[in-house]
């Protein structure tokens, strides 16, 4: 069958061939992934990495902690993902807020946070991440299970290998599952009965291998997989399709064979893969990860580590020099204990031979130079890794070093935001809004800024219900009564804390935007940066002349650059004063002048907050 031959030929090319790059290098994606996996386990690919002096050569992994550092510095929290309002109106903001809560609920349900964590780990290690949409989730495909075109991964057919237990395969509901399970069981049984130990198993333990092919293939391949007639003209036309089959070795003529599980044509919107490339390399589809980026550093680091180990192994031998033959005889015949005083003949000498070479410090210095170069390439400086600073280093200097060291990670974080935005908009948001519309309610925790919007909606809705009920009963509420009802509802909501339940949300979902925005700024990720900004704002407010419009304008501009709006601070100041009013003494000279404080807060919300 054509699909079997296609997969076999692609696999052979992928695992055995190299492609030329524009730089003149020969490149193999299969060998690169293999090298990265060996590096993760701190192992040499070369089986001859040993000698008689030190045994196996040391492998001091310089990439692993740098991978973890970048993963930690670029980790995403899905709480930074929000639905963008279609405009600046309160209605649009409420709709976006409700849609954001629905989106977060969906991402919690599908445990999208684990996918984001995995993304942060895979990206710096392999340099490329392959996402796949599966029912009710988004996963990251292991590169060990994939065969792709080495030049253009996402626009060429992707071959993915899966391994199922018979029970798992049975639950898939694919065609011909029973026949495949029986064939696999027969193969395993006949294999176990053979006495020859050099026969290789055709499956991994009791698992059944299933091949999944997704991409544009000849129409003839799809028709043949479906069991339909095809012609030579169908070999010239291509179609986006999805084929799954279980390979079953070779027939008597040596051709690959198998059993088709599924064969369907795909729409463009149903294509299940997306790819993110870190540091693209011209001429190939795979990006550059830290192990590849530091491959030369790792090679020389291990070389000097090995030379140092060899020098220590040789120089660590305890040797003696003497020209008195009788001493040598006594050592071999009688042996000596620690602290034995040796006696030699008159005019003879006996001394320990110093064998430690002076090249060891040189090796250590060279390794330190390579490590320094690796730090510059990967931004793994002491201020970023958390190394303790030298005594007396000012806090401000440490802060600025940390900001400079993490600036590259900020860029990586922003690049990651592009693919996450695409995934959320095209794969998750629509399902999240559909599920929220079905439930027709949101019960969640809101921030202070969100509560102001939410409570206004809840209050006005309940006030309208009260007015309608009064009208139906034949009475009309006076404006003062309406205000009292409004205040009572607000007071009741305030006692509930930050949790709210919003019902009848279909209108909001309908009006919600279809775009998401992801916050990738340091203020969203780093508490240290946020606290520094707030501290600067407080210090700035102390020196502001409230009567100088130029200084007030400069204050607002600086706050805007910090990402802190005066409206936000005024909101917090208003709530703080409302809380303080509840604690105001009924009598006495120690009462707080809230009117004066309110006036100051209105003039300068920064200082009031």
What would the 3-class secondary structure string for 326-339 be?
HHHHHHHHHCCCCC
Residue 604: its pLDDT value, please?
52
Residue 162 makes CB contacts below 8 A (sequence gap 6+) with 145, 209, 210, 211, 212
How many other C-beta atoms lie within 10 A of the C-beta of residue 394?
Answer: 9
Q: Which of 11 and 50 is assigned the larger pLDDT?
A: 11
On whether the CB atoms of residues 422 and 274 are closer than 8 A, the answer is yes
Q: Kindly state the average pLDDT of the residues 303-330.
A: 80
Q: Chain-wide mean pLDDT for the chain?
A: 79
Residue 127: its pLDDT value, please?
94
Residue 529 makes CB contacts below 8 A (sequence gap 6+) with 403, 522, 523
At 142, the pLDDT band (50, 70, 90 cuts) reads very high
Q: Residue 601 to residues 437, 447, 575, 607: CA-CA distances in angstroms?
A: 41, 21, 11, 7
pLDDT digits (tens, 9 = 90+) for 556-571: 777 666 656 555 666 5
Residue 150: its pLDDT value, please?
94
Q: Residue 335 to residues 67, 324, 327, 330, 585: CA-CA distances in angstroms?
A: 53, 16, 11, 7, 94
CA 278, CA 128: separation in Å to the nearest integer? 6
CA 220, CA 213: separation in Å to the nearest integer? 15
On whether the CB atoms of residues 271 and 265 are closer than 8 A, the answer is no
| Burial classification of residue 19, based on how many CB atoms lie within 10 Å of its CB (0-12 exposed, 13-18 middle, 19 or more buried) | middle
Q: Kindly state the average pLDDT of the residues 228-232.
A: 90
On whether the CB atoms of residues 132 and 273 are closer than 8 A, the answer is yes
Residue 250 makes CB contacts below 8 A (sequence gap 6+) with 256, 257
Quote the radius of gyration of the chain (alpha carbons, Å).
35
Q: Kindly state the average pLDDT of the residues 53-60.
A: 86
Residue 116: its pLDDT value, please?
93
pLDDT digits (tens, 9 = 90+) for 207-221: 889 999 999 999 999
**Share above pLDDT 90 across residues of the chain, in percent, rounded to a whole number:** 28
pLDDT digits (tens, 9 = 90+) for 476-534: 888 888 888 888 887 787 777 777 777 777 777 777 777 777 766 544 445 555 666 66
CA angle (403 as vertex; 398, 406 as ends), nearest 5: 120
> For the CA atoms of 367, 368, 372, 375, what is the dihedral angle to 10 degrees?
70
pLDDT above 80 (res 74): yes
Residue 558: its pLDDT value, please?
72
Q: Kindly state the average pLDDT of the residues 399-408.
A: 56
Q: Residue 591 to residues 90, 375, 556, 582, 600: CA-CA distances in angstroms?
A: 38, 59, 32, 12, 17
Residue 13 makes CB contacts below 8 A (sequence gap 6+) with none
pLDDT digits (tens, 9 = 90+) for 429-464: 988 888 888 877 777 777 776 777 777 777 877 888
At 609, the pLDDT band (50, 70, 90 cuts) reads very low
- Least Cα distance to 94 among 564, 507, 518 occurs for 507
Q: Among 153-157, 168-172, 199-203, 408-412, which stretch is predicted with the lowest mean pLDDT?
A: 199-203
Residue 196: its pLDDT value, please?
46
Q: Which of 253 and 396 is assigned the larger pLDDT?
A: 253
What are the sequence ranges of the domains in the chain?
1-14+137-277, 318-354, 541-609
Q: Which of 384 and 490 is assigned the larger pLDDT?
A: 490
DSSP single-letter state for residue 425: I
Residue 500: its pLDDT value, please?
72
How many other C-beta atoms lie within 10 A of the C-beta of residue 410?
Answer: 17
Residue 590: its pLDDT value, please?
45
Q: Kindly state the average pLDDT of the residues 71-75.
A: 86
């Amino acid at each position: 069958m054509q699909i079997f031959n296609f997969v076999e030929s692609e696999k052979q090319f992928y695992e055995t061939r190299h492609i030329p790059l524009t730089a003149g290098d020969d490149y193999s994606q299969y060998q690169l992934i293999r090298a990265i996996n060996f590096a993760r386990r701190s192992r040499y690919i070369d089986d001859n990495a040993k000698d008689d002096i030190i045994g196996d050569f040391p492998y001091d992994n310089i990439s692993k902690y740098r991978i973890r550092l970048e993963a930690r510095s670029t980790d995403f929290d899905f709480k930074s993902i929000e639905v963008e309002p279609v405009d600046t109106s309160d209605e649009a903001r409420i709709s976006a807020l409700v849609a954001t809560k629905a989106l977060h609920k969906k991402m919690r349900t599908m445990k999208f946070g684990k996918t984001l964590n995995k993304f942060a780990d895979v990206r710096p290690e392999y340099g490329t991440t392959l996402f796949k949409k599966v029912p009710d989730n988004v996963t990251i495909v292991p590169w060990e299970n994939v065969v792709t075109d080495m030049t253009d991964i996402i626009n060429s057919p992707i071959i993915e290998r899966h391994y199922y237990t018979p029970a798992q395969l049975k639950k898939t509901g694919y065609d011909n599952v029973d026949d495949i399970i029986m064939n696999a069981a027969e193969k395993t049984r006949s294999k176990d009965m053979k006495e020859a130990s050099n026969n290789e198993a055709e499956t991994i333990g009791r698992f059944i291998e299933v091949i999944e092919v997704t991409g544009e293939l000849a129409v003839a391949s799809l028709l043949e997989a479906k069991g339909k007639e095809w012609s030579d003209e169908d070999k010239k036309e291509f179609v986006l399709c999805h084929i799954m089959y279980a390979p079953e070795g070779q027939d008597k003529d040596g051709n690959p064979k198998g059993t088709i599980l599924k064969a369907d044509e795909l729409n463009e919107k149903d294509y299940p893969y997306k790819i993110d490339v870190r540091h693209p390399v011209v001429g190939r589809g795979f990006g550059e990860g830290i192990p590849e980026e530091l491959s030369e550093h790792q090679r020389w680091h291990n070389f000097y580590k090995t030379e140092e180990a060899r020098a220590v192994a040789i120089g660590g031998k305890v040797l003696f020099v003497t020209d008195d033959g009788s001493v040598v005889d006594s050592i071999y015949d009688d042996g000596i204990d620690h602290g034995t005083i040796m006696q030699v003949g008159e005019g003879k000498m006996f001394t320990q031979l110093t064998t430690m070479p002076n090249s060891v410090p040189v090796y250590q210095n060279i390794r330190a130079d390579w490590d320094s170069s690796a730090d510059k390439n990967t931004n793994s400086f002491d201020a970023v890794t958390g190394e303790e600073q030298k005594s007396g280093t000012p806090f401000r200097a440490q802060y600025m070093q940390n900001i400079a060291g993490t600036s590259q990670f900020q860029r990586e974080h922003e690049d990651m935001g592009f693919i996450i935005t695409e995934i959320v908009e095209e794969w998750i948001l629509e399902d999240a809004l559909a599920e929220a519309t079905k439930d027709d309610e949101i019960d969640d925790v809101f921030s202070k800024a969100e509560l102001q919007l939410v409570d206004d909606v809840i209050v006005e809705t309940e006030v309208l219900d009260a007015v309608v009920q009064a009208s139906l009963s034949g009475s009309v509420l006076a404006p003062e009564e309406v205000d009292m009802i409004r205040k009572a509802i607000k007071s009741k909501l305030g006692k509930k804390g930050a949790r709210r339940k919003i019902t009848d949300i279909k209108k909001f979902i309908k009006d919600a935007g279809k775009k998401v925005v992801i916050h990738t700024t340091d203020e969203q990720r780093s508490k240290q940066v946020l606290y520094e900004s707030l501290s600067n704002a407080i210090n700035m407010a102390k020196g502001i002349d409230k009567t100088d419009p130029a200084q007030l304008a400069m204050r607002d501009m600086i706050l805007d650059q910090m990402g802190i709006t005066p409206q936000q601070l005024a909101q917090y100041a208003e709530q703080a004063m409302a809380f303080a009013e509840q604690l105001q003494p009924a009598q006495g000279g120690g009462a707080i002048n809230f009117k004066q404080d309110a006036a100051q807060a209105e003039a300068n919300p920064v200082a009031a907050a």
